[in-house]
Chain A
């Protein structure tokens, strides 16, 4: 428990230095903050390396099981292939992979979402309640006013779009941002104060 307390105190000190460095312009504080930030990057790099080793180890284990062997082989080939292409001096292979493999694959995954969106839309309307009606109304209005053709039908739609963006959407966005900021601040203070971690250590 003492070890954990020491770690919490170290974390608290580091966090406070970073926060102070953000607001104060003191040379020695800047220097320490700089070293800590660089340390964060090194730790992040090590975490990625640990993740790669873990992925290799996990999939090597999966190779022993017949049912999960194909997936494990594909994962390992992709991992090692990406690594080899990354260290090759010629960037053209990497660019080719990026343009003709990664972009189509990721775009396909994103495009598949529309099928689920449509199915969800159907289900929402299927339930036929106040929420569904609100969802339907909002969805249709937002879809329609975003169409350029709506402007040619009536200038009212342009004004409506501007009003929606300027008022309800902006207010909602501000509410989300402020709420998130308060939540992050609260969590950060609790973390810096070691409140959660010390309690866990004592348990």
Chain B
């Protein structure tokens, strides 16, 4: 059963319009920009204006002694409105969404408009000390001041506080005329014109797609000046070369499938190197979505995996699992055999493949701070800079990013070409975007 948010009438599930009041039950138009929103949205998806009167606004309305009748005198309202200048008429023509706001105010709230005649006839009331939202007189004074642009040096003038401005903005959002944010509302409407048109969007997507294909056509010839001698893959390889063969290495696969393209080639290379060197390997994960990653990597190795001592400890749940791991291996992996977990206590180092800052920090702070085992990380380029402070401080033994640590030189070169084309694409779009704006300005 669907309850109409406007009249509280009960409707059949899935009904699009209320059988009682006829309003849409699933969508509503933004009173400011006219964009279509879900009825459950609090703010407009386009201009972020408040769509529904919140508890605060309702409280403000209830606390206000100046709530006017729900059906104002239209003639009086029209008479009180000043005539529009040519410029204002142009603005109104450019922003046809403005009348919708008034309709919205009539539909949603008991207040529809505040004319200057009504305003002058309001009695001066003492604000209630219990009214958390402040006195409505102050808000409307701000409105008057803003509209008239008074001299700030005049005696008795007081700058509105941030709270008063906030409240005034609230009034503006629920559709009261002459709010101090009128200017801002026009700016919002102008910014809407800066959205991409379908044609522009189509061209941008075609350009992006073409740029993504280019590295495969150029085969890295454009950036063949790439040198791999000092790359992260070399650094990682030199680290793997000194791993002791009598102690196991714990490898944690903590990345989702979406980053497999970046981290999987490095993971394969690392495991292949360890298997060739006959280093015992323990694998685990703290992510449910990466539970099969170790088996996937091992199944695709070039080296003979049967000759290596490999144990998959399995999954331990995130931060809690790492906290347990720091206390007891058996507690973190209760389903593993005692022999496996005893073997795990002899781990020489931990190598983490991660795409998440939270997981990486959990390894450093929850595990690394409790257990004296060096932690090495291969992470995505996205979180690499954020983990650099930990490498500087010595909490991380080694930190490399997946893109640069990819052992496949051809992949590196292609990635390099892709970055170059991305740079070109951004430049093209920058020029195009700037030119389009200038062109529109000239047109006006």
Contact = CB atoms under 8 A, between A and B. Distances in A.
Q: How large is the interface on A (under 10, 10 to 19, 20 to 34, 35 or more residues)?
A: 35 or more
Contacts of B425: 118
B430 A37 contact: no
Contacts of A105: 257
B260 interface: yes
A166 B328 CA distance: 37
B194 A122 contact: no
Contact of B196 (A33, A41, A119): A119
B433 interface: yes
Interface in A113-139: 114-115, 118-119, 121-128, 136, 139
A83 interface: no
Interface string B222-262: 11011100000000000000000000000000001111110
A118 B208 contact: yes
Given A106-B258, A125-B434, A95 B225 contact: no
A170 B388 contact: yes
Contacts of A66: 14
Interface residues of B, number: 63
B397 to A, nearest CB: 18
Closest CB pairs A-B (n = 3): A125-B433, A152-B225, A106-B258
Nearest to B209: A115
B389 A34 contact: no
B416 interface: yes
A103 B299 contact: no
Interface in A159-187: 165-166, 169-170, 173-174, 176-177
A91 B205 CA distance: 39
Given A34-B327, A41-B317, A115-B204, A169 B385 contact: yes
Interface string B406-441: 000000100010011011011101111110111000
A123 B195 contact: yes
Nearest to A139: B426
Nearest to B207: A118
14 contacts: A34-B328, A37-B323, A37-B327, A38-B331, A40-B320, A64-B13, A95-B295, A105-B257, A106-B256, A114-B208, A122-B433, A143-B419, A165-B388, A169-B388
A197 B392 CA distance: 40
Contacts, number: 156
Contacts of B207: 118
B427 A140 contact: yes
Interface in B170-196: 191, 194-196
Interface string A33-61: 11001101100100000000000000000
A66 to B, nearest CB: 8
Interface string B246-288: 0000000000111111000000000000000000000000000
Given A128-B434, A128-B437, A146-B419, A34 B324 contact: yes
A73 to B, nearest CB: 16
A103 B324 contact: no
A109 B201 CA distance: 18
A30 B327 CA distance: 8
B73 interface: no
A24 interface: no
B295 A91 contact: yes
B336 interface: no
Nearest to B393: A174
B388 A98 contact: no
Q: Name which of A98, A99, A126, A147 has the most chain B CB atoms within 10 A of its CB.
A: A126
Contacts of A119: 196, 201, 204-205
A107 B256 CA distance: 9
A28 to B, nearest CB: 14
A98 B416 CA distance: 28
Contacts of A103: 257, 260
B35 interface: no
A161 to B, nearest CB: 11
Contacts of A169: 385, 388
Contact of B434 (A38, A109, A126): A126
